[in-house]
Amino acid sequence: MPHSPKEVAVLNTIQAAAADSVLSGGKYNLNDGTDDLTTPIKLSDATSSEKIAYAAGTASVKDYDYAGVALLADHQYRVAVVVPSNAAVSGSVSSEADEIIPIREYVIWTGGTAPASASDLVDLLLARINLDSGAKVTASNAGGSLRLTLDDVATGDFRTESDGAETVTTPYVAPAGTPAIVEALAPTKSSPTATYTTWRIDFSDFLRNNAVSGGAVAFPAHVLMFVDAGATNYAAFETEIDAVLAGTHTPVADYLGV
């Protein structure tokens, strides 16, 4: 997400009959008494919405086959591992603030004797990678191929620069709706056992601006709503909010009045 949400709402308990989901006069809000949106969203100003199911996250595993790589003496072999999303170095936890792409490079020289096999070359490379205390991956020898396994799903996926032919053994799945994600955005509001479905609503936020003599200017904004999919009454809430955002809520008159 390129910008911070204007508001974050978290529902750990849900009222019966979708009572937490409120559409009235063309404006949408939550009504649980603690995480209501400060300003109800005018659905006529909404530009898009997205529903993201909970995911614990899956670390990617990628194999690099060196069978087709020439085994040479006095030669340099290099593997570079890049984790584009993990670019914060200043404590800002923001790649935008730091504007860097972290690359960790691993280089070996074979010396006067060429590696006896591709598997031996792999062993040299993995030893160099695993000596790095700041590595973002763990290396192993998988049937003669260099296997790299992402250490932390929260950092985002990695890519590499290497001579080996890449095969993605386990695709990366980003975590979504985890208590850690919610806690980072809304401190003290997450439940450690929750599995949150995320609803994001993008809308035009009209604010007065001196550049147009105090007239209203539309700025892109969004809100995030995290709702525990394991909570009692979740199914009714999900059905209702999905209907609201799809334009199929009834009565239709609730969409009118803005």
Question: For residue range 208-256, what is the model confidence (pLDDT) as tens digits?
Answer: 776 666 667 778 999 999 999 999 999 999 999 999 999 999 999 999 9
Total domains present in the chain: 2
Structural domain for 135, as ranges: 61-170
Question: Which among 152, 170, 188 is the end of a domain?
Answer: 170
Q: Do 66 and 155 fall into the same domain?
A: yes
Share of residues in the chain with pLDDT > 70 (%): 90
pLDDT of residue 58: 98
The answer to whether residue 193 is domain-embedded is yes
Same domain (yes/no): 193, 251 = yes
**Is the model's pLDDT at 140 over the cut of 50?**
yes
Alpha-helical segments (H) within the chain: 95-98, 118-130, 179-185, 234-246
Residue 1 maps to a domain: no
Are 77 and 126 in the same domain?
yes
Range name among 9-13, 40-44, 93-97, 157-161 with the lowest pLDDT average:
93-97
Does 143 lie in the same domain as 238? no
- Residue 95's pLDDT band (cuts 50, 70, 90): very low
Specify whether 40 is located in the same domain as 93.
Answer: no
- How do residues 178-214 score in pLDDT, each as one tens digit? 999 999 999 999 999 999 999 999 999 877 776 666 6
Using an 8 Å Cβ cutoff, are 139 and 126 in contact?
yes
